[in-house]
Amino acid sequence: MKPRFVGQPIKRKEDPRLVTGASAYVDDIVLPGMLHMAVARSIHAHARIKSIDTSRASKLPGVRAVVTGEEIAANCGQLPAAGDIKNMKRPVHHPLAVGKVRFVGEPIAAVLATDAYVARDAAELIQIDYEELPAVTNPEKAVQQGSPILHEEFSDNVAYSFGWENGNTEDGFSKADTVVKQRFINQRLAPVSMEPRGVIAAIRMPENELVVWSSTQVPHLLKTQLGLMLGIPENRMRVIAPEVGGGFGSKLNVYAEEALVGYLAKKVGQPVKWIESRRENMAGTIHGRDQINDVELALKKDGTILAMKLKVIADIGAYYQLLTAIIPTLTGLLAPGAYRVPALKFDLVAAFTNKMATDAYRGAGRPEATYLIERIIDIAARKLGMDPVDIRRKNFPKPAEFPFQTSGGVFYDSANYEKALDRALEVADYKGLRKKQAELRKQGKYMGIGFSSYVEICAMGPSIAMASGGWESGTVRIEPTGTVTVSTGASPHGQGQETSFAQIAADELGIDMENVTVLHGDTARTPYGIGTFGSRATAVGGTAMYLALQDLKEKMKKFAAHMLETTPGNIEFEVGKLVMTGTARSVSFMDVVTSAYVAKKLPPGVEPGLEATRFFEPSNFTFPFGTHICVVEIDEETGEPKVVKYVAVDDCGNVINPLLVEGQVHGGIVQGISQALYEEVVYDENGQLLSGTLMDYAVPRAHDFPMFELERTVTPSPVNPMGIKGAGEAGTIGSTPSVVNAVVDALAPLGVTHIDMPLRPEKIWKILKLGRAS
Amino acid sequence: MDVKITINGKLYEKDIEPRLLLTHFIRDAAGLTGTHVGCETSICGACTVLAGGLAVKSCTMFAVQANGAEILTIEGMAREGEMHPLQESFWEEHGLQCGFCTPGMIMTCHQLLTRNPSPDETQIRGALDGNLCRCTGYQNIVKAVQSAAGKMKHRRGAAAGD
């Protein structure tokens, strides 16, 4: 049966409710008797809490409860943190600070009131007497002796050290004709989902069940962890992720406020709501990146890479959130990028500093790797006098070499790096661009062309590499009336799997997409699952559904064979019916469904009903790849770099819905360009957050970008039966270095070899002025 | 304070606190939750509504300032079950992903197309500068506005020909 839906740019089933305002995000949910929580937070980066006076807040009319750290510590577990890294220091992390605060925005007390305005008023009335302590915000200083120590139960701020070596690095360096070195700063970013976080909790009868609505990417994990924290048996917990307004990794977590809302709802016996303000979001929702990468690359004079040394200092902030410890370790896995790097030595030190925790932000540890390898290879090309295209081509493994074991310690599943590069060169008209650049240079203008031939790690799984399992679940039920309900353990929040999963189910069963409903994000309506992150929902979750569909098809074939008096091997699916191969004989889809439910004439050994659940455990990650080419022009007067052309050729394996893939790539590219040019979370030396609002933190705007030119190559993944690699993070991972490479290329005539991100106009302006002066 | 505010053609008369933000009046007093709050500082534009035909950030306007005004929100865009061309085009062009910014985006675009029925790409991008989207990279939003502009022109043409 030829696919009717898979591969087509089908508009989303999600959208009618979203474009009409009918959808319900957490803040849109109102429950009878609902109270509102507000949180009093630390104004200091590092301080002892000498006393907390809640009396004025408690007396404010409308206030129902005020809680502080001791009460919560006595009644609620600590925040969970994954990672089993050797010698990892595990500091105490209560939902509300006890005794000491370690970053600006750390929750200290929570107020419950009948009205959200009153709750905020009351939080302001809480008097906290602090004894300020010296803060440390520089991770290199934090791990030195004499630094203020965040967690006094430990002797220093080294959260953990970690490292490994694959191949013989020293041997590679000893044989090198040239060695290039560079320090790269991968600055701290804020995820800034447009919907801030939000939580509602309510005790529901008759089971005394705690129902939690949270703007989360991981409802099942949240159910397990909140149950443990609050001492509620998991079978009396239900978590619902309603409409979720973006996550980008920031909602792949278990936060203090989720526990506080749950605790308070239980304590007062009324529903409780908390909606994060944007200021709270900037200070108290996880940040991303924040690594210093010292890279050395050894090469032969023809550009062949021999070995690489990578030292990473990760500034992880004051505490671990869920995946804080794990993210920087991923950087080592992907450090060789799309190249044959025979030996790699990776050393990582994670430092506690007086800042919010870093954790998974779109790409999560891999953008850092892609940035450093794509930058250092450009630096090497310039030193060797090679074209950036030639040095990349020289070091690509060939398609026949896959699965390809890298010195990062992973097996790349499948790829044709050269094909994507060649297509990008063609689309961008590389020769023409270089010609134009030469002409502009003659006129004293600065135009640069930047490359990024990235690879990335997607479809997370497998479980062996994941803290809490890397599988995913899917249930398919064909209802007695013939409509189909799919429920997935993944938890999409904008990616569009209500549509893409329906495309798959409809094609597999030969029915119309309108007859398929996809449920997600409610632990009571879906099988236990892991969630949506790491570009995994379709490649892993979609595969679980696909396997369940195969089970149902096999079962339906048995019913059809019984009805047509043949064997199941002679039955195939067509649109609306099951046909006996090579004959005109068939039974309708509906007749088979009816037969399975009325169960009067069951085939021998076959159970009634049409429902199947499967759990898919992937054997490996998938490794999407591609080449991005960025062209920038720099305003000589202001130093402002402008992206004037952007070509992306991505390969995410087989595609279910090209419209959705395109959307993922668009958004990813913009987030990546924005890291290169605009965004940075800034703390001053005292640990005060200077980028605490959207006035100060530069989320990019529509006018910052041209229209992108996108193309795809298709190299199916062998890791899952549909050959999908995943598309959620490629844009972000691929784009950042292409932009920086372009700006450095533009400024190369001035002798510039590197500039740290974000490439703000003033940095470039200074270079232009100094360059001219010299 | 007593206020009378008309939202999507329906009059809401309420006794409110003077500090109540217009966005909370719309969301809580009128129960129209399609208008979202994303930053509370008028930067992100998720709360954009039309007040007397003018796009305003309802998170930084007091409800009392809207006393007597006619407000149009996303819920008022579809007519008799038929989507507004902007809503249709956002759908068709995949101009949204998580959907949180979409109502504000559509209201801003509505003002743009009222003022300038045939905006070019630069004008569209400029008009969207008060509305942040973190999902789409604005690419398909620009396409959606172009498509909606075409549809609206066509419909006006058809109406004029009647």
CA A426 to chain centre: 31
8 Å CB contact of A707 and B19: no
In chain A, residues 481-510 whose CB comes closer than 8 Å to chain B: 493-496
What the block records as the tokens of A325 is 């410890």
Cα angle A297-A300-A304, degrees, rounded to a multiple of 5: 75
Model pTM above 0.90: yes
| Smallest Cα distance from B104 to chain A, Å | 10
Q: Distance between CA A387 and CA A582 in Å, rounded?
A: 58
What tens-digit pLDDT sequence spans chain B (162 residues)? 999 999 999 999 999 999 999 999 999 999 999 999 999 999 999 999 999 999 999 999 999 999 999 999 999 999 988 999 999 999 999 999 999 999 999 999 999 999 999 999 999 999 999 999 999 999 999 999 999 999 999 888 877 765
8 Å CB contact of A194 and B46: yes
Taking the Cβ of residue A256 and every Cβ of chain B, the question of whether any pair is shorter than 8 Å is answered with no
| Smallest Cα distance from B97 to chain A, Å | 4
- pLDDT for residue A772 is more than 80: no
**Mean pLDDT for the stretch of residues A354-372:** 97
Residue A601 within a domain: yes
Which of B40, B129, B139 lies at the smallest CB-CB distance from A666? Answer: B139
Sheet holding A198-204, edge to edge: A63-68, A107-113, A35-41, A272-275, A198-204, A209-214, A237-240
Residue A350 within a domain: no
> Which pLDDT score is estimated for B16?
96
Which of B73, B97, B103 lies at the smallest CB-CB distance from A667? Answer: B97
A480 and A431 in one domain? Answer: no
The kind and range of the H/E element at A284 are: helix A278-284
Size of interface A-B (CB pairs under 8 A): 172
**Mean pLDDT for the stretch of residues A615-631:** 96
8 Å CB contact of B99 and A243: yes
> Which pLDDT score is estimated for B162?
54
| Smallest Cα distance from A90 to chain B, Å | 34
B102: closest chain A residue by CA: A19
- pLDDT (tens digit per residue) in A474-513: 999 999 999 999 999 999 999 999 999 999 999 999 999 9
Q: Please report, for residues A10, A418, A674, A720, B92, the alpha-carbon distance to residue A660 in angstroms, rounded to integers and kept in the order given.
A: 9, 25, 21, 20, 12
> Which pLDDT score is estimated for A466?
85
| Smallest Cα distance from B2 to chain A, Å | 19
Question: What does the radius of gyration of chain B's CA atoms come to, in whole angstroms?
Answer: 16
SS3 content of chain B, % helix, strand, coil (to 5): 45, 15, 40
Work out the mean pLDDT of chain A and round it to a whole number.
97
A21: closest chain B residue by CA: B34
Confidence of residue A158 (pLDDT cuts 50, 70, 90): very high
Residues of B with CB below 8 A from A16's CB? 83, 91
Measuring CA to CA, which residue among A353, A444, A266 is closest to residue A684? A353
A701 and A610 in one domain? Answer: no
Cβ atoms of B121 and B139 closer than 8 Å: no
A699 and A680 in one domain? Answer: yes
Residue A371 within a domain: no
Measuring CA to CA, which residue among A446, A350, A9, A305 is closest to residue A154? A350
| Smallest Cα distance from B119 to chain A, Å | 14
- pLDDT for residue A161 is more than 70: yes
Of A561, A592, A616, which residue constitutes the final position of a domain?
A616
- pLDDT (tens digit per residue) in A671-700: 999 999 999 999 999 999 999 999 999 999
Q: Distance between CA B90 and CA B98 in Å, rounded?
A: 12
- pLDDT for residue A19 is more than 60: yes
Question: What does the radius of gyration of chain A's CA atoms come to, in whole angstroms?
Answer: 28
Residues of A with CB below 8 A from B136's CB? 663, 666-667
B95: closest chain A residue by CA: A663
A65 and A211 in one domain? Answer: yes
Taking the Cβ of residue B152 and every Cβ of chain A, the question of whether any pair is shorter than 8 Å is answered with no
In chain B, residues 51-70 whose CB comes closer than 8 Å to chain A: none
Residues of A with CB below 8 A from B74's CB? 19-21
A259 and A400 in one domain? Answer: no
In chain B, residues 77-116 whose CB comes closer than 8 Å to chain A: 77-78, 83, 87, 90-92, 94, 96-103, 106
Helix, strand or coil, per DSSP, at residue A767: helix
> Which pLDDT score is estimated for A525?
96
8 Å CB contact of A495 and B41: no
Which of A246, A663, A669 lies at the smallest CB-CB distance from B134? Answer: A246
A431 and A481 in one domain? Answer: no
> Which pLDDT score is estimated for B161?
63
> Which pLDDT score is estimated for A11?
97
Domain span at residue A201 reads 31-133+194-246+251-284
Taking the Cβ of residue A708 and every Cβ of chain B, the question of whether any pair is shorter than 8 Å is answered with yes
Taking the Cβ of residue A56 and every Cβ of chain B, the question of whether any pair is shorter than 8 Å is answered with no
Q: Is A594 left (phi over 0), alpha (psi -120 to 50) or beta?
A: alpha
> Which pLDDT score is estimated for A580?
97
Quickly count helices (H) and strands (E) in chain B. 5, 5
A762 and A670 in one domain? Answer: yes
A603 and A513 in one domain? Answer: yes
| Smallest Cα distance from A2 to chain B, Å | 25
- pLDDT (tens digit per residue) in A267-300: 999 999 999 999 999 999 999 999 999 999 999 9
Contacts with A559 (C-beta within 8 Å, 6 or more apart), sequence order: A592, A595, A596, A603, A606
Taking the Cβ of residue A666 and every Cβ of chain B, the question of whether any pair is shorter than 8 Å is answered with yes
Of A284, A305, A336, which residue constitutes the final position of a domain?
A284
**CATH number of the domain that residue A408 is part of:** 3.30.365.10
Q: How many CB atoms lie within 10 A of CB A575?
A: 14
Q: Distance between CA A287 and CA A316 in Å, rounded?
A: 9
Residue A310 within a domain: no
Residues of B with CB below 8 A from A24's CB? 33
Residue A400 within a domain: yes
A215 and A126 in one domain? Answer: yes
Taking the Cβ of residue B136 and every Cβ of chain A, the question of whether any pair is shorter than 8 Å is answered with yes
8 Å CB contact of B106 and A194: no
**CATH number of the domain that residue A238 is part of:** 3.90.1170.50
8 Å CB contact of B121 and A707: yes
What the block records as the tokens of A8 is 């087509």
Taking the Cβ of residue A469 and every Cβ of chain B, the question of whether any pair is shorter than 8 Å is answered with no
Confidence of residue A179 (pLDDT cuts 50, 70, 90): very high
Taking the Cβ of residue A416 and every Cβ of chain B, the question of whether any pair is shorter than 8 Å is answered with no
Confidence of residue A84 (pLDDT cuts 50, 70, 90): confident
> Which pLDDT score is estimated for A773?
41
- pLDDT for residue A338 is more than 50: yes
Residues of B with CB below 8 A from A10's CB? none
**Mean pLDDT for the stretch of residues A411-435:** 98
B20: closest chain A residue by CA: A117
Residues of B with CB below 8 A from A656's CB? none
8 Å CB contact of A243 and B138: no
Residue A174 within a domain: no
Residues of A with CB below 8 A from B140's CB? 662-663, 666
8 Å CB contact of A11 and B91: yes
| Smallest Cα distance from A283 to chain B, Å | 13
**Mean pLDDT for the stretch of residues A424-441:** 98
8 Å CB contact of A277 and B91: no
Of A284, A302, A337, which residue constitutes the final position of a domain?
A284
A743 and A654 in one domain? Answer: yes
| Smallest Cα distance from B69 to chain A, Å | 21
Residue A411 within a domain: yes
> Which pLDDT score is estimated for A768?
93
A564 and A605 in one domain? Answer: yes
> Which pLDDT score is estimated for A1?
84
- pLDDT for residue A708 is more than 90: yes
What the block records as the tokens of A341 is 């790097």
A217 and A119 in one domain? Answer: yes
- pLDDT for residue A114 is more than 70: yes
Domains annotated for chain B, with CATH where assigned, are 2-76 (3.10.20.30), 85-157 (1.10.150.120)
Taking the Cβ of residue B142 and every Cβ of chain A, the question of whether any pair is shorter than 8 Å is answered with yes
How are beta strands A641-651 and A709-712 bridged, if at all? parallel
Q: What ipTM was predicted for this assembly?
A: 0.97
Residue A162 within a domain: no
**Mean pLDDT for the stretch of residues A46-69:** 98
What's the number of domains chain A is made of?
3
